[in-house]
Amino acid sequence: MSVLNQWFTGVQDLELVNDKIKELEAERLELQQLSDPNHHQTSSTIDFEELSKQLKFSIANSDIDTINALITGHGDIPSLVAAKNLVLERQRLLSLKSQQSQYKDLDEKLNEITYFDLIGLKELKNGISELTNLKYQATLYDKLDQLIISLKPKYQQALVESAGSSKWVNSSSIAPNLETDFHNLLNLQSLLNKQPKYPDTLWAFETLASNFKISFDYHFNTEKETNRIDRPELFLNYFTNYLSNHLSKFVGVFQLQDTEYSDRFAHSEFITALLKPVREKFSQVLKILRSSLEEENPKTQEANTQLLIHFIKETITFDQALVSDFYYDPLDDGNWEGLFALFNYTDLEKWLNYETKLNVANFESIINSSNCFHIDYTSVGDAQLKPTVSAIKLKYLFENITNSFSKFFLQNYENNSSLKKFKLKFFAKIYLRFLESYFQRLEDGFIAFNELFKKSRSVIHSAKNNTEIDITGTKGLERLFRIYCSLKYTINSLNYWNQEFIFIELNSLFNEYSTNKTLSLFSSILSDYNSLAEKTLQLINSFYSKTTTTLLRNYTQLNDWNDRSSPAPTTFTAQLASVIDTLQELNQFTVKVISTNEFLVVKNSLSYSVADYFFNNIIKSNHFSHKDFSIVWEKLQLSRKFPLYKKLIEAFQIMNLDDEQITQFGPFNTVNQFAKSGHFEILREVLQLEYLTDSDLLDLLLRIT
């Protein structure tokens, strides 16, 4: 291409292209034949005369497709490649000549225009858009824009005069000259290359909004009492009140049909125009607040931070009112970011730090209070899990925070990157921080109790050393339930919050930035709470089991299970009465603090402990005659339907067997003989045994006397 650039420097060299093509082609063909070592072979396979004719025809008609076909068929013969490049260069120069001609013509027409001719100017603009030379196009667009802007004052003044004389605000119809002037200014602006897009305004609407600007400036940009930096709601509410009073009237009078902006909505364009002085005032207030926050005085800083937070809150309310009440959608996509977009992350971080400091103080006052983990019996109904004072106060704290936090979750704020960062940090610095801190307190309490529980020999009688924490009886059980109720109440709250809109949105936002996708932002901390709640419930069951074992041990040690006498059923020993009274006291406390379903779990565990104790410490520790065993069966009064007693019931079935019955299970004469055989398959099948192991069966059969 360097050779081409030497030959052709501009459009004036266009006439030389054909001569150069012919000259170069003749040279290329001659050189090809003389220099090709396979000249004779090539000559026999290529008809150069025919090739020359085809090439000549293609060059004359600028037929690049044919030249490309020749190159494909005969290879990259230098003459063919050179011809292709020359034809392409001729096309480029012809196009450049055409562009120059069009540019000159359009430029002359622009210079001749001295008045507003919509049709003529539209044709000019369309002509400019068809230029492929971007440099020419940009130059003409700039010139057209300068022309349009030069005409603006004339047509804007015409609209000002007609609007002032018609008094359209109080009129039921629009005067013809006002409508004409309104349309003229709209159509004039439509000829600009770069069309106005929010926050830029349409000139016609800005002109009609000029009276509002005058009154707005009077109230909020002078020494009037309404010009208060501590009450931004005054100028924001002034704006919305103006809309309430005038918007419907304006939209009824001024329409965009039959204008170049028929694809836009008049009410949104009018609001955009009215917003211009409001945005300016907004930026002014924000600049003052930012400057004041740089002061080092802590008291002044805190006061100014509160002003900034108040400003942010009022802005959110204002934006929401425009979207919800006035259906403002300047971009026609539902994604107007509001005046809120003028705040940066540093502004939002001021709020975040202030909210964090304030709520940390509230949180610490909750968990450091003397009644922090006292159970609250009055806040919920009977048969429901009772929260601790701290658990319910923490819930209320979170609900208040969420109520304030939810203001940020507006659809039109979704693309605000500063707000996205703020939301995730807000969640981490407040919600997760408090939940993790609260969990740590509960876990510490669990560990401390568990250590004492492991060391204690009894949970019935308190230690003689009064310096030790009392973990016996209902006092000990209450300590456990304080932990359990705190955990479960918080778990229930977390499960409820998981379904709330703002936390679903937060999780979706988190997943945008994280490679570790989650179903809920609470998943990890909720797992910790659930795990500790399960451990605490197990410790509660162990507490019951340890209590039961101690009481039953005292009872069984004083009883002769081979005693053939039959005491009256209402007669209880002191030891048995102690078992009943103690367990009843524990159950009465338990049923008050947890739900019915949870209490059923505890009762089942207790029943299992009793059944297991009888099985291992009475049945498997004594020898019984059939009469003895009948007495034990009668005393226990086991429910055959209760699943936890099935092992005991199966044991009674086995120990009720006699020598005569044992013959049905094989060639055995006595129970003892059958037991020593160890073949219990038929026994299991006939009696449908599910819970007793072979070891249990052997042990029980050998205890029958």
- The span from the CA of 4 to the CA of 83, in Å, is 11
Q: Angle at Cα 142 formed by Cα 140 and Cα 145, nearest 5°?
A: 110
Question: Residue 22: what pLDDT?
Answer: 58
Q: How sure is the predictor about 5, in pLDDT bands with cuts at 50, 70 and 90?
A: very low
Segment among 139-153, 331-345, 456-470 with least mean pLDDT? 456-470
Strand partners, 624: 704
- The span from the CA of 680 to the CA of 695, in Å, is 10
Q: How sure is the predictor about 403, in pLDDT bands with cuts at 50, 70 and 90?
A: very high
Does residue 570 carry a pLDDT above 80? no
> Does residue 90 contact residue 120 with C-beta atoms inside 8 Å?
no
Q: How sure is the predictor about 153, in pLDDT bands with cuts at 50, 70 and 90?
A: very high
Question: Residue 41: what pLDDT?
Answer: 43
Q: Residue range 558-570: average pLDDT?
A: 51
Single-letter amino acid, residue 36: D
Q: How sure is the predictor about 485, in pLDDT bands with cuts at 50, 70 and 90?
A: very high
- The span from the CA of 230 to the CA of 349, in Å, is 20
CB-count burial class (<10 Å; 0-12, 13-18, 19+) for 47: exposed
Question: Residue 31: what pLDDT?
Answer: 44
Query: CA torsion angle for 108, 113, 117, 118 (degrees, to 10)?
Result: 50
Backbone angles phi, psi at 394, to 5 degrees: -65, -40
How many residues does the structure list for the chain?
Answer: 705
Q: Which helix (H) or strand (E) covers residue 670, if one does?
A: none
Does residue 33 carry a pLDDT above 60? no
Question: Residue 617: what pLDDT?
Answer: 82
Q: Taken in order 130, 136, 137, 139, is the CA torsion positive or negative?
A: negative
Fill in the DSSP letter of residue 334.
S
Does residue 636 carry a pLDDT above 90? no
Q: How sure is the predictor about 66, in pLDDT bands with cuts at 50, 70 and 90?
A: confident
3-class SS at 63? coil
Segment among 52-66, 118-132, 186-200, 374-388 with least mean pLDDT? 52-66
The chain-wide mean pLDDT, for the chain, equals 85
Of the two residues 209 and 131, the one the predictor is more confident about is 209
Q: Residue range 228-244: average pLDDT?
A: 97
* Closest to 346 (Cα-Cα) out of 297, 398, 384, 294: 294
Question: Residue 482: what pLDDT?
Answer: 97
Question: Residue 340: what pLDDT?
Answer: 97
- The span from the CA of 409 to the CA of 649, in Å, is 61
Q: How sure is the predictor about 8, in pLDDT bands with cuts at 50, 70 and 90?
A: very low
- The span from the CA of 207 to the CA of 159, in Å, is 7
Question: Residue 60: what pLDDT?
Answer: 67
Does residue 486 carry a pLDDT above 90? yes
Does residue 567 carry a pLDDT above 80? no
* Closest to 311 (Cα-Cα) out of 386, 235, 241: 235
Does residue 40 carry a pLDDT above 50? no
* Closest to 253 (Cα-Cα) out of 165, 170, 155: 170
Q: Write down the H helix ranges in 167-260.
A: 176-189, 203-208, 210-220, 233-253
User: Angle at which helices 646-655 and 626-636 pack, to 10 degrees?
Assistant: 160
Greatest mean pLDDT among 233-237, 259-263, 380-384, 460-464: 233-237
Question: Residue 209: what pLDDT?
Answer: 95
Does residue 27 carry a pLDDT above 60? no
Domains of the chain: 4-31+46-98 (no CATH), 196-343 (1.20.58.1420), 344-641 (1.20.58.670), 657-704 (no CATH)
User: Angle at which helices 78-112 and 64-74 pack, to 10 degrees?
Assistant: 160
* Closest to 540 (Cα-Cα) out of 609, 490, 489: 609
Question: Residue 44: what pLDDT?
Answer: 45
Q: What is the pLDDT of residues 413-451, one digit of tens each?
A: 989 999 999 999 999 999 999 999 999 999 999 999 999
Q: Write down the H helix ranges in 558-645.
A: 574-593, 596-617, 626-636
Q: Whole-angstrom distance between the N-terminal and C-terminal Cα of the chain?
A: 118
Does residue 593 carry a pLDDT above 70? yes
Distance (Å) of CA 139 to CA 100, 126, 195: 12, 14, 17
Q: What is the pLDDT of residues 265-303, one digit of tens each?
A: 999 999 999 999 999 999 999 999 999 998 778 788 899
Question: Residue 15: what pLDDT?
Answer: 54
Segment among 430-444, 523-537, 655-669 with least mean pLDDT? 655-669
Does residue 457 carry a pLDDT above 70? yes
Of the two residues 679 and 325, the one the predictor is more confident about is 325
> Does residue 181 contact residue 162 with C-beta atoms inside 8 Å?
yes
Strand partners, 704: 624
Q: How sure is the predictor about 386, in pLDDT bands with cuts at 50, 70 and 90?
A: very high
Question: Residue 638: what pLDDT?
Answer: 58
- The span from the CA of 447 to the CA of 359, in Å, is 28
- Of all residues in the chain, the percent with pLDDT exceeding 90 is 50
Segment among 170-174, 235-239, 577-581 with least mean pLDDT? 170-174
Q: Residue range 490-514: average pLDDT?
A: 93
Question: Residue 19: what pLDDT?
Answer: 61
Q: Residue range 523-529: average pLDDT?
A: 96
* pTM to 2 decimal places: 0.76
Of the two residues 574 and 421, the one the predictor is more confident about is 421
Q: What is the pLDDT of residues 509-518, one digit of tens each?
A: 999 988 888 8
Of the two residues 209 and 84, the one the predictor is more confident about is 209
- The span from the CA of 629 to the CA of 701, in Å, is 13
Distance (Å) of CA 251 to CA 92, 101, 173, 242: 52, 46, 12, 14
Q: What is the pLDDT of residues 164-183, one digit of tens each?
A: 887 777 776 678 899 999 99
- The span from the CA of 554 to the CA of 73, in Å, is 111
Does residue 467 carry a pLDDT above 60? no
Q: What is the pLDDT of residues 533-557, one digit of tens each?
A: 999 999 999 999 998 888 888 777 6
Single-letter amino acid, residue 373: F
Cα radius of gyration (the chain): 47
Half-sphere exposure of 295 (CA within 13 A, CB side): 14
